[in-house]
Amino acid sequence: MSGDWHHGGHGRHGGPDPHGGVGTNTWWQPAAQLQQGSGPGWGCSGGNAPEHRSRSRRGWSPRGVPQQNNSVGYWPQADPYATYHGLVAHANYANGEPPAAKKHNSERSSSSHSSGSAGSKKSDSGGDEIVHFSWSVGMVLHDRYQIEELLGDGTFGRVVLAMDAKENRQVAIKIIRDVKRYMENAKIEAAILKDIRKADASGSSRCSLMYDTFTHDSKFFCLVLEPLGMSLYDFIKKNHFRGFWVQDIQVFAKQSLKALKFLHKELKMTHTDLKPENILLQTMVPARPSRFPREKAWQEAQPQKSSRSKAVPTYLRPVSADIKLIDFGNATYEHEHHSSIINTRQYRGPEVVLELGWNERSDIWSIACIIMELYTGELLFGTHENLEHLAMMERIVGKLPQNLLDGAGDEAKAKYLAQAPAGKSYGDGWQESKVWRLNWPDGASSPTSETHVACQDRLADMTPREHWLLSDFVASLLVHDPKKRPSASEALRHKFLSEQIEE
């Protein structure tokens, strides 16, 4: 294969389609794997999915506990740091599928900057507001950490900003509620973070650092962590889901893959829960007002009765695109038992849905979904159903390979696949046989589901010509067969991460 990029097929712009480019690395399977198509399917308006499906967010964590993520200090009156270091629960998967997803906003916890008391109380909305332990500004924990402010509350934890008198630096202290299962799982994550710190004391791997652990008042287990900024999900949400600049996405992608290279090669560990909520900006410096280079396209894509007719707040851009990965409560070492279900659904690879087993390459699929979401502002796979999810994979990325369908687990075959006749020649004769295929659209749960899948753009059609390297990069990661999916080290060689791309 030539070392030059080549163009194959015809895409949305007419003429040669740069989405067909393939580089020198033989593992790349970009647009060649994609189904080049005519864009939106039947029943779609302007290429968008029905409005009620377009911004559906996951409302549960892989541990089966609703997300409790809030914002971090960039916008006035934002609830700071509740996304910080995975304030969602650290319980392991319960049997099978996590609870049904709810609208994301309703799952956010409220937080207060005043002192709190133990127990729970009724919030203004009438629901139970979990409050942790009594605290006040100036309180000293573990004879060295002086509390400065509350950063956020979660279902099972509270995070405070404190000054470490011994090291003369600010730290974030994650204080676990006095509940046995929460403490046990927090200690599991602490052990993983200790391994990360041992292998990467400087934090250059782009994984978050834990400095210390201690028990407060003989009952509250505490993790002392580096203070970080807002999650990428909360940032994009505050910008009305307008996505990030491509230059910032290049940094996010490169640093995320660097972190995965460290986890996969040095620690033999799979994160298993990558999503924008678990990627945090490293800086705590407030964002700066900026133009959004794709504002016109974003406005045109909005449903007529939504944001297009309303005043949209000024777009903000982070002062630095440096990031850190967080929330290692479900990270799994290579030698450990691998749960059958991992990831928040929308970032789950086909091998997990089809019950084929998984390894560290599942993280690569997740990061690809995230990168495209950071560009478009929307979930790449906006679904809450496994069969619909698989159908979207075929629509957006390409047909699932036969070896994955043939090797699917019995339960997955019964639920999501069907057998279809296929003529095969054997020697001099011709024999009818049956092959497994996705049971779609016959198995669709509703006409709305079928329309939703048909409305999806092909991956190569999700970016304009000037950003073809981005969609080509994502395509190179979204390889259905995990055995052919690139490693983090290989993915870091893609041209998208080194080219200067103008907005």
- Summarize the annotated binding site as residue ranges: 174
Rounded to whole angstroms, the Cα distance separating 342 from 322 reads: 27
Phi, psi (deg, nearest 5) at residue 418:
-145, 160
The letter for the amino acid at 85 is H
Q: Which residues contact 296 (CB under 8 A, 6 or more apart)?
A: none
How many Cα atoms within 13 Å fall on the side-chain side of residue 37?
Answer: 21
Instruction: Judge contact between 84 and 280, C-beta under 8 A.
Output: yes
Residue 224: strand pairing partners? 173, 212
Rounded to whole angstroms, the Cα distance separating 397 from 106 reads: 32
**200, 234, 248, 273: which one is catalytic?**
273
Q: Which residues contact 385 (CB under 8 A, 6 or more apart)?
A: 445, 449
Binding residue numbers for ATP:
174
Q: Which residues contact 240 (CB under 8 A, 6 or more apart)?
A: 307, 312, 313, 377
Rounded to whole angstroms, the Cα distance separating 154 from 65 reads: 11
Which among 305, 308, 288, 304 is positioned nearest to 296, based on CA atoms?
308
- 215 is written with which tokens? 């028990």
According to DSSP, residue 215 is labeled E
Catalytic residue list contains 273:
yes
Catalytic residue numbers read 273
